[in-house]
């Protein structure tokens, strides 16, 4: 048989197809947030670099064998590949090289040190430094962030002073659990109900610097659930005991194959509480699964359920705070006020890769919350159900020969909020009976809708300089239906939609050298009023009320010195707010919203980390964060009172956090943390201030393994070591009624301990 030129070409084509299919194709991702990792070096057994991952983390390998995956900011990983097909590699972050890690807070994966805005990352190591019940200590280590805690279910978070004037809970700050919004259509956010043991990382964007998350005034808190690990099978159990009747159990199960993984986390937390009427009981269940279907498609599912019953001691007056801090507010103790709620969220995300330059990520999500809260003045029943969709197209291109990364997307969110109040007849029954439901007082149904359209791009002008431009468009609408109209209760039904708001962002980062980078940004943000703030005393909708809006101006630097042993980040910023929303009290625990003026938030944030000693047998690390807050009412007239020039209410003048971490090869580890919180104005008139206070916490532990199958971790912790008397939360501008003194203070816990054991069984 004669071989012609045509035969040769055919043979080459067949061989080409064979070797193409024989190639190993895969993707490299961050093990915690699933962000693709670009420019990962892949080495063979001769330490030759044979491949690199592209902008979407994708790579090709010529054959099976043993390879090492290396990327600054992540731990090296060796993998032995025994068959062809699609492969997913998960890399763990290297906490000593945090500036190099990939953050996904803007959906355009990039190294933290090249970010054009202030982004702080709380790693799983940071979470493990504290007790596993309260996340206050974790968040307060982030400069610019301040979380107050009245009890485990009574919290308030502010970022750069935004949210400090909210009386109860957190508002004007957006939060996401992976891709699922935790912020309601009313702009209110609750994150303290989630199990810390089910969270791997927080990424916090400070200021109105995130176009793609609705341009919230204060910023965005992005919670990353613990990812389900591939090729790992284990069960972790943890038991903790502590002061005030604390008991907590956690079960963490992970099952992973090459392309599919499943993780389930269950927790049960109980506490009698430090104060009267302070018992707490919470169960949580979290499921996270990943399915890498092929080279271009992956699916993930996230489910979280929280069942909570927590009694409420509420705030107390100054005399009680100083002389009897364990006491609950009298009326709350008499009514045995509590919160009984069930909350669930569900989300599914589809990731589709069009080609090496573009991909689309689409998430659908739903959530619900059912709550029953007996209070001294009434009983509140709530039922919320939400649906939404979030989709964005991500791309990487070149423009004038330079790399251009971009994202374009939209988010639609709609929730239905049904709530009503009933009489609380506890005073008509013998003492100790607690709350008794009486006649209905109100019955409302709200439909709350918003949508965001957003665009953001990072353009590498040079190898050292990145330009970021973003734009967000938001439209928010409320519709209120009064379902309890009587002669004494006029119809309060109405609807209102705020004009569309455009929020631009401009940012730039520049690497002066390998170890020093500068960043700056100018960004716009807004915060719409809640439905209750739009209601007038006669029940009508106030169409004159406007959203708060503001501009954030910032400049900062990220620096690594002494062979990256010392890392420093410093930011200077100004946040100028207009149409300030003020809660004006009209009765006992009744308020209306008014636009009362302007505030200016000038501040400095410092973060420092230093490795004193690092060796194979022992490490000693030090950290320090500091916030200097110069926040003022620039133009604030509330009724007959002019507070212009006064300090912003509810924000400390400064916050310092510093601590030392030790780790040894023998398994012994420990951490000690010191926190200073400066004086805080309690009233808009600045006539009353909360005292500055200092807290010291420590934790010691020992880790060991038994036959490489059982990993054991035992620990002991002591919070508020020097038994400081302090107020852990403040109710600003409180007023006393019927001759009672104002109730400003939530007493903080005295010295208290916890201890526990964690067992990890590897299959």
Set out the domains of the chain in order of their start, with CATH numbers.
5-92 (2.60.40.1120), 105-220 (2.170.130.10), 221-762 (2.40.170.20)
| Through-space distance between the first and last CA atoms of the chain, rounded to whole angstroms | 58
**Residue 460 confidence (pLDDT) above 60:** yes
Q: In whole angstroms, what is the distance from residue 571 CA to residue 556 CA?
A: 4
Q: What percent of the chain has pLDDT over 70?
A: 91
Confidence of residue 597 (pLDDT cuts 50, 70, 90): confident
Dihedral pair phi/psi, residue 517, rounded to 5°: -130, 150
**Residue 96 confidence (pLDDT) above 70:** no
Using DSSP, how many helices (H) and how many strands (E) does the chain show?
5, 48
β-strand 174-177 against 219-225: which pairing, if any?
Answer: parallel
Query: Average pLDDT in the 705-727 region?
Result: 92
Query: Average pLDDT in the 157-179 region?
Result: 87
Q: Which of 287, 280, 301 has the alpha carbon at shortest distance from 252?
A: 287
Dihedral pair phi/psi, residue 625, rounded to 5°: -130, 145
Query: Average pLDDT in the 455-465 region?
Result: 90
**Residue 152 confidence (pLDDT) above 80:** yes
> Which pair of tokens denotes residue 736?
């006393």
Query: Average pLDDT in the 3-32 region?
Result: 58
Q: In whole angstroms, what is the distance from residue 503 CA to residue 214 CA?
A: 9
Q: How many CB atoms lie within 10 A of CB 50?
A: 16
Q: In whole angstroms, what is the distance from residue 324 CA to residue 333 CA?
A: 14
β-strand 24-30 against 85-91: which pairing, if any?
Answer: parallel
Query: Average pLDDT in the 116-145 region?
Result: 88
Taking every pair of Cα atoms in the chain, the longest distance, rounded to a whole number of angstroms, is 112
245-268 pLDDT tens trace: 999 999 999 999 988 999 999 999
Q: Which of 641, 651, 543, 652 has the alpha carbon at shortest distance from 585?
A: 641
Residue 642's beta-bridge partner residues?
637
Q: State residue 249's pLDDT score.
A: 96
Q: In whole angstroms, what is the distance from residue 140 CA to residue 330 CA?
A: 31
Q: State residue 349's pLDDT score.
A: 93
More confident: 433 or 14: 433
Q: State residue 16's pLDDT score.
A: 45
Q: State residue 140's pLDDT score.
A: 93
Q: In whole angstroms, what is the distance from residue 44 CA to residue 24 CA?
A: 14
Q: State residue 82's pLDDT score.
A: 80
**Residue 683 confidence (pLDDT) above 90:** yes
Q: State residue 13's pLDDT score.
A: 44
Q: State residue 718's pLDDT score.
A: 96
Give 441's contacts (C-beta < 8 A, 6+ positions apart): 378, 420, 421, 422, 423, 484
Q: State residue 586's pLDDT score.
A: 55
Query: Average pLDDT in the 160-187 region?
Result: 85
The model's pTM = 0.88
Average pLDDT, the chain: 87
Please identify which residue in the block is written with the tokens 């939360």: 729
Instruction: Tell me the Cα Rg of the chain.
Output: 27
β-strand 501-511 against 668-677: which pairing, if any?
Answer: unpaired
Query: Average pLDDT in the 296-322 region?
Result: 95
Q: State residue 563's pLDDT score.
A: 84
Q: State residue 118's pLDDT score.
A: 87
Confidence of residue 591 (pLDDT cuts 50, 70, 90): low
**Residue 601 confidence (pLDDT) above 60:** yes
Query: Average pLDDT in the 452-477 region?
Result: 91
- The strand ranges marked E within 541-617 are 548-561, 566-578, 581-587, 590-595, 597-614
- Tell me how far CA of residue 484 lies from CA of 274, 330, 376, 480, in angstroms: 40, 31, 22, 12
Confidence of residue 15 (pLDDT cuts 50, 70, 90): very low
Q: In whole angstroms, what is the distance from residue 60 CA to residue 296 CA?
A: 14
Confidence of residue 12 (pLDDT cuts 50, 70, 90): very low
> Which pair of tokens denotes residue 607?
């973060």
Q: State residue 22's pLDDT score.
A: 46
Q: State residue 487's pLDDT score.
A: 78
- Tell me how far CA of residue 679 lies from CA of 258, 400, 652, 690, in angstroms: 54, 53, 5, 6
Please identify which residue in the block is written with the tokens 């994202």: 407
- Tell me how far CA of residue 295 lies from CA of 19, 34, 292, 354, 355, in angstroms: 17, 15, 8, 10, 10
Confidence of residue 231 (pLDDT cuts 50, 70, 90): confident
Least confident range from 171-180, 450-459, 661-670: namely 171-180
Residue 672's beta-bridge partner residues?
660, 698
DSSP secondary structure string for all residues of 494-544: EEEEPPPEEEEEEEEEEESSSSEEEEEEEEEEEEPPPTGGGB-TTS-B-TT
Q: State residue 107's pLDDT score.
A: 54
Dihedral pair phi/psi, residue 706, rounded to 5°: -120, 110
Least confident range from 65-74, 511-520, 625-634: namely 65-74
391-448 pLDDT tens trace: 999 998 888 888 888 999 999 999 999 999 999 999 999 988 999 999 999 899 999 9
β-strand 77-81 against 358-374: which pairing, if any?
Answer: unpaired
Q: How many CB atoms lie within 10 A of CB 125?
A: 14
**Residue 102 confidence (pLDDT) above 70:** no
Q: State residue 675's pLDDT score.
A: 97
Q: Which of 724, 645, 652 has the alpha carbon at shortest distance from 689?
A: 652
Give Cα 428 to chain centroid, integer Å: 43
- Give the CA count within 13 Å in the CB-facing half-sphere of 47: 1
Query: Average pLDDT in the 627-633 region?
Result: 95
């Amino acid at each position: 048989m004669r071989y012609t030129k045509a035969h040769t070409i055919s043979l080459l084509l067949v061989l080409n197809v064979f070797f193409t299919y024989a190639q190993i194709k895969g993707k490299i991702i961050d093990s915690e947030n699933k962000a693709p990792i670009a420019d990962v070096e892949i080495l063979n057994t001769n330490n030759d670099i044979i491949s690199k991952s592209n902008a979407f983390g994708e790579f090709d390998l010529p054959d099976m064998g043993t390879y090492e995956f290396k990327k600054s900011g992540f731990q090296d990983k060796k993998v032995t590949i025994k068959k062809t097909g699609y492969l997913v590699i998960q890399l763990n972050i290297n906490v000593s090289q945090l500036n190099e890690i990939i953050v996904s807070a803007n959906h355009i994966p990039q190294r933290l040190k090249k970010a054009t805005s202030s982004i702080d990352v709380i790693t799983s190591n940071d979470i493990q430094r504290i007790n596993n019940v309260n996340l206050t200590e974790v968040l307060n280590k982030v400069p610019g962030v301040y979380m107050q805690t009245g009890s485990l279910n009574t919290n308030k978070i502010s970022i750069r002073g935004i949210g400090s004037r909210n009386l109860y809970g957190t508002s004007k700050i957006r939060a996401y659990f992976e891709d699922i919004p935790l912020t309601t259509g009313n702009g209110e956010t609750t994150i303290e109900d989630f199990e810390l043991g089910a969270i791997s990382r927080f990424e916090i964007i400070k200021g109105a610097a995130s176009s793609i998350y609705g341009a919230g005034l204060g910023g965005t808190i992005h919670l990353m659930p613990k990812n389900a690990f591939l090729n790992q099978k284990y069960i972790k159990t943890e038991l903790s005991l502590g002061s005030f009747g604390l008991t907590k159990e956690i079960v963490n199960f992970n099952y992973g194959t090459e392309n599919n993984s499943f993780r389930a986390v269950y927790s049960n937390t109980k506490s009698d509480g430090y104060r009267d009427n302070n018992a707490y009981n919470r169960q949580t269940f979290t499921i996270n699964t990943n399915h890498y279907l092929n080279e271009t498609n992956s699916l993930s599912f996230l489910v979280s359920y929280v069942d909570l019953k927590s009694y409420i001691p509420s705030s107390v007056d100054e005399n009680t705070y100083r002389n009897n801090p364990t006491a609950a507010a009298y009326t709350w103790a008499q009514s045995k006020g509590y919160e009984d709620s069930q909350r669930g969220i569900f989300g599914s995300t589809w990731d589709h890769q069009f080609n090496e330059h573009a991909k689309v990520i689409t998430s659908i999500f739903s959530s619900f919350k059912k709550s029953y809260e007996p209070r001294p003045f009434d009983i509140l029943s709530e039922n919320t159900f939400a649906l939404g969709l979030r989709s964005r197209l991500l791309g990487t291109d070149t423009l004038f020969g330079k790399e251009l990364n971009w994202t374009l997307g939209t988010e639609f969110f709609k929730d239905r909020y049904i709530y009503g109040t009933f009489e609380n007849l506890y005073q008509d029954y013998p003492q100790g009976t607690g709350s008794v439901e009486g006649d209905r007082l109100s019955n409302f149904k709200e439909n709350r809708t918003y949508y965001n359209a957003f665009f953001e791009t990072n353009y590498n002008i040079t190898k050292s300089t990145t330009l970021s431009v973003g734009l967000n468009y938001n439209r928010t609408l409320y519709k209120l239906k009064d379902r309890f109209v009587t002669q004494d209760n006029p119809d309060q039904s109405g609807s209102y939609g705020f004009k569309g708001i455009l929020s631009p962002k401009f940012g730039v980062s520049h690497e002066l050298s390998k170890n020093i980078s500068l960043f700056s940004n100018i960004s716009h943000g807004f915060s719409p009023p809640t439905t209750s703030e739009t209601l007038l005393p006669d029940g009508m909708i106030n169409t004159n009320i406007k959203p708060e809006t503001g501009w954030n101006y910032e400049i900062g630097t990220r620096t690594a010195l002494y062979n990256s042993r010392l890392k420093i980040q410093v930011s200077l910023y100004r946040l100028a707010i207009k149409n300030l929303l003020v809660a004006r009290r009209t009765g006992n625990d009744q308020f209306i919203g008014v636009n009362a003026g302007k505030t200016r938030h000038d501040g400095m944030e410092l973060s420092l980390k230093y490795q004193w000693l690092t060796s194979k047998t022992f490490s000693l690390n030090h950290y320090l964060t500091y916030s200097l807050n110069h926040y003022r009412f620039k133009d604030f007239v509330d009724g007959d009172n002019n507070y212009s020039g006064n300090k912003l209410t509810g924000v400390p003048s400064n916050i310092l956090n510093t601590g030392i971490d030790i780790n040894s090869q023998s398994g012994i580890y420990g951490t000690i943390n010191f926190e200073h919180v400066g004086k805080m104005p309690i009233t808009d008139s600045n006539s009353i201030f909360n005292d500055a206070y200092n807290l010291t916490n420590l934790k010691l532990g020992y880790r060991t393994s038994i036959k490489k199958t059982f990993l054991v971790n035992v620990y002991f912790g002591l919070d508020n070591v020097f038994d400081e008397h302090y107020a852990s939360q403040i109710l600003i501008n409180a007023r006393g009624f019927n001759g009672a003194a104002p109730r400003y203070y939530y007493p903080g816990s005295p010295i208290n301990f916890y201890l526990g054991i964690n067992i990890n069984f590897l299959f």
